[in-house]
Amino acid sequence: MKLFGEKAVRRILMVTAFSALSGLLLIALFILNEGLPFIFKYGIKEFLFSSDWYPHLGKFGIYPMIVASLWVTLGAMIVGAPLGVFGAIFLSEYTPRPVMKIIKPTIELLAAIPSVVYGFIGVMVLAPIIRANFGGPGLSLLAASIILGIMILPTVISISIDSILAVPQSYREGSYALGATTWQTTHMVTIKASKSGIIASIILGLGRAIGETMAVIMVAGNSVNIPNTPLDSVRTLTANIALEMSYATGMHRQALFATGVVLLIVIIILNSLASVAIRKRMVKR
């Protein structure tokens, strides 16, 4: 009886573990199955590098969306990465531990705010400020970059702090004992030793930024065009799928799945880079 119980538990756990895995596989296969034939039929070059997105005329060039996604993500990095990394350094090296232990979970709460709330604040507060001060429609590449930059902060800060705190205290002591100041110790020893973890945090933030949809739809303006300035309205890959899926049929529908394929590939590459960076850190220890 006991043995039977043990076996049953093992089975049940195995089924649950595989259901998560098969969910991923099914989604990936479904998207590839729907999207890949279209890409080959339409032509990879035409699909990726043409600027003509006129679904009703049978033209499906997603180049403007690719460019917009890259710019929005880069913008989010410019806003979020320095804020996040320097914030993490301040919290881990310059803040007393008890204070840091309160602030860190508070920052992590940022990740719990639904993206629609970020988008709403972007529309109601940020866009009008941009419109009034810099001109343009307000709903723009700049607005999307700022909102996304804030949204990736918890990811960047939390993982950076973890990797900075993982640096053995004896490294810092060795440096201080040689007459180094806190900043010298931080940038010559601590950051050096935790570099791969910090890079991983930025890459994971990048993955989050490129995949974010709701907040971006709300603040980016969504016109299909290659932006000339940060104040232009743009449409990202994710926004493109979300905006048109409700009425897309036939070729148009397949083109949206193909957009999903492109996103999937980009995100797989980013996550692999991050896990390579994290693993490198483990090996070094």
Partner 1 sequence: MKTKFQIKDFSFYFNEEKVLKNINFEIEANSILGIIGPAGSGKTTFLRSLNRMNDLESGYRIEGNILLDGIDIYKPEYDVVELRKKVGMVFAMPVPLPMSIYENVVYGPRLSGVQDKKRLDELVEKSLSSAYLWEEVKDRLHTSGMRLSGGQQQRLCLARVLAMEPEAILLDEPSSGLDPISTAKIEDALTVLKKSYTIILVTNNTKQAARVADNTAFFLMGELIELGTTSQIFTSPVKTQTDDYITGRFG
Please give the residue ranges that form the binding site for partner 1 (CB under 8 A). 96-97, 168, 170-181, 184, 188-189, 192-193
Q: How far is the CB of 172 from partner 1 (least distance, A)?
A: 8
Tokens of 71: 């710019």
Tokens of 1: 């009886």
- 54 SS3 class: strand
Of 63 and 176, the one with the shorter C-beta distance to partner 1 is 176
Of 163 and 222, the one with the shorter C-beta distance to partner 1 is 163
Q: How far is the CB of 285 from partner 1 (least distance, A)?
A: 10
Tokens of 120: 């709403």
Task: Give CA–CA dist 255/201, Å, rounded.
Answer: 32
Contacts of 170 (CB under 8 A, 6+ apart): none
Q: How far is the CB of 171 from partner 1 (least distance, A)?
A: 6
Of 5 and 179, the one with the shorter C-beta distance to partner 1 is 179
Task: Give CA–CA dist 82/108, Å, rounded.
Answer: 17
Q: How far is the CB of 100 from partner 1 (least distance, A)?
A: 12
Alpha helices by DSSP H, listed for the chain, are: 2-42, 44-49, 63-89, 97-109, 115-121, 127-134, 141-151, 153-165, 169-177, 182-185, 191-211, 214-220, 237-244, 250-284
From the centroid of its chain, how far is CA 206?
Answer: 4
Of 18 and 183, the one with the shorter C-beta distance to partner 1 is 183
Q: How far is the CB of 108 from partner 1 (least distance, A)?
A: 24
Of 182 and 275, the one with the shorter C-beta distance to partner 1 is 182
Task: Give CA–CA dist 145/232, Å, rounded.
Answer: 12
Of 33 and 182, the one with the shorter C-beta distance to partner 1 is 182
Of 128 and 174, the one with the shorter C-beta distance to partner 1 is 174
- 221 SS3 class: strand
Task: Give CA–CA dist 270/83, Å, rounded.
Answer: 21
Q: How far is the CB of 129 from partner 1 (least distance, A)?
A: 42
Residue 198 vs residues 85, 185, 189: alpha-carbon distances, Å: 7, 17, 14
Q: How far is the CB of 175 from partner 1 (least distance, A)?
A: 6
